[in-house]
A and B are shown apart, each in its own frame.
Chain A
Amino acid sequence: AQSVAQPEDQVNVAEGNPLTVKCTYSVSGNPYLFWYVQYPNRGLQFLLKYITGDNLVKGSYGFEAEFNKSQTSFHLKKPSALVSDSALYFCAVRDIGEYGNKLVFGAGTILRVKS
């Protein structure tokens, strides 16, 4: 079964510093990986995806993610954090079944950016 793990419950960074939110995956076959962000009392917003191609994927709001096959990781990064980036971040992997597909999510990582 496809799965992802987010080893950190919370990440704290200072505004203006680079941030990294970690994700590792376990899949059979090629991975289809996603990052979503959730603000309080809101649904999930799509940030970026990796299907194939370049290992560095650029997404919304200045976020990017680095796919590393040898380390089975897909870490979310941003060069300079903003206070408004504070939210709950989810890594997910697509699990394709015979007739449909689903997203399998990690437990989430709370990002706190302090001014």
Chain B
Amino acid sequence: DAGVTQSPTHLIKTRGQQVTLRCSPKSGHDTVSWYQQALGQGPQFIFQYYEEEERQRGNFPDRFSGHQFPNYSSELNVNALLLGDSALYLCASSWGFDEQYFGPGTRLTVT
């Protein structure tokens, strides 16, 4: 049984560009959450998707947007990239409010 998968593994972008990160949830899970983990910090909640709708959002600007597809996979989009967006982006999946299982993350570097 595949766990949570994320792509790409690493990404380098330039300031002002846009990026799309992808996540496939663990089999049987219907909820996807995204977190940003800056270097030396704990993960910070970005938003959560369930039934293709954003259900809860953390303290992140509108430059961060997402989508959930009918197969429960999800995308995270970040527009107008800033240097401060450099971080490890983690996707987590769950069955409803059960414990969240995390993917390996996407390392985004903005230069």
Contacts and interface: CB of A to CB of B under 8 A. Distances in A.
Interface residues of A, number: 24
Interface in A25-67: 34, 36, 41-46, 49
B interface SS class:
strand
A30 to B, nearest CB: 13
A99 B31 CA distance: 12
B90 A102 contact: no
Contacts, number: 59
Interface size range of chain B in the complex? 20 to 34
A115 interface: no
23 contacts: A42-B104, A42-B105, A43-B6, A43-B102, A46-B100, A46-B101, A46-B102, A49-B99, A92-B42, A94-B97, A96-B97, A97-B55, A97-B56, A100-B48, A101-B48, A101-B56, A102-B33, A102-B45, A102-B56, A103-B33, A103-B45, A105-B42, A105-B43
